[in-house]
């Protein structure tokens, strides 16, 4: 089993609510790529090569992709309606990605639901739809894996103030480069990264790939804080 597969496996051993949130947010992350594939060929483009459906005739629609989009749309709508009926929650935004982001913050309502069949179906659907969206949006099999650790770096606000980065650490799994261990990269700023030599050394020491990344992230955070206070 590759290092990246071990990371994914470690994440999937967590609590059902953690897994469901991971699956739902993965769908949200891939949503732009999924919808971009609705047009056969990946989207209409003008002479510059930039997708521009208003300037050129649309390409034929890929029915298989539309079916996946529709299934996720219906699932998100069903979950949103259930939340509205069973709690005092009101959606802030009604697009499918917006609904799923909000549902991801309330997965406990479903994973701990008094209807055990609904709870099981929710978790199963989240995992199944994530896999389906991944297969459809990224037929090459490339995927971004959330590590579950916050970025340690800092940036600068519009006022010139030093502020903490709000990103999360991820690694990109690419089947075509299965023997290459990638950097751990912030999903908000790709300049924020941990090279594989650094975090693999910690992984070999701890035997826990996910824990190693979190440990290295803390080391980086401490070094950054020390540099700032020096």
Mean pLDDT along residues 163-173 = 81
What integer pLDDT is reported at residue 167 of this predicted model? 85
Mean pLDDT along residues 119-130 = 94
Query: Residue 150: pLDDT above 50?
Result: yes
Place of tokens 């949103």: 80
What integer pLDDT is reported at residue 170 of this predicted model? 81
Q: What is the pLDDT of residues 66-76, one digit of tens each?
A: 999 999 999 99
For residues 17 and 22, what is the distance between their CA atoms, to the nearest angstrom? 8
Q: Domain spans of the chain?
A: 1-139, 141-230
What integer pLDDT is reported at residue 209 of this predicted model? 58
- How buried is 188 (Cβ within 10 angstroms: 0-12 exposed, 13-18 middle, 19+ buried)? middle
Quick one: what percent of the chain has pLDDT higher than 70? 64
Which range is least confidently modeled, 166-170, 209-213, 216-220? Answer: 216-220
Q: What is the pLDDT of residues 215-226, one digit of tens each?
A: 555 555 544 444
Closest alpha carbon to 153 in 163, 144, 161, 145: 163
Q: Residue 133 is encoded by which pair of tokens?
A: 């969206």
Residues forming beta bridges with residue 61, ordered by sequence position: 39
Closest alpha carbon to 46 in 37, 55, 35, 38: 55
Q: Residue 106 is encoded by which pair of tokens?
A: 């309330």
Task: Tell me the pairing of strands 154-156 and 168-173.
Answer: unpaired
More confident position, 189 or 105: 105
What is the model's pTM? 0.56
Place of tokens 């989207």: 43
């Amino acid at each position: 089993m590759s290092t990246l597969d071990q990371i994914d496996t470690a994440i999937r051993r967590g609590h059902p609510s953690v897994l469901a949130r991971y699956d739902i947010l993965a769908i949200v992350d891939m949503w732009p790529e999924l919808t971009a594939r609705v047009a056969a060929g990946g989207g209409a483009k003008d002479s510059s090569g930039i997708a521009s459906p208003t300037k050129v005739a649309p390409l034929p629609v890929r029915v298989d992709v539309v079916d996946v989009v529709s299934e996720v749309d219906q699932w998100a709508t069903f979950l949103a309606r259930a939340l509205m009926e069973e709690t005092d929650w009101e959606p802030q935004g009604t697009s499918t990605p917006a609904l799923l982001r909000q549902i991801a913050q309330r997965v406990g309502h479903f994973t701990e639901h008094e209807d055990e069949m609904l709870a099981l179906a929710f978790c199963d659907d989240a995992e199944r739809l994530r896999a389906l969206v991944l297969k459809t949006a990224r037929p090459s099999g490339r995927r971004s894996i959330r590590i579950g650790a916050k970025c340690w770096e800092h940036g600068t606000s519009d006022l010139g103030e030093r502020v903490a980065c709000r990103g999360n650490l991820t690694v990109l799994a690419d089947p075509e480069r299965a023997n290459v261990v990638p950097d751990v990269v912030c999903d908000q700023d790709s300049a924020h990264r941990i090279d594989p030599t650094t975090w693999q050394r910690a992984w070999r020491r701890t035997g826990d790939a996910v824990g190693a990344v979190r440990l290295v992230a803390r080391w980086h955070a401490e070094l950054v804080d020390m540099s700032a206070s020096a």
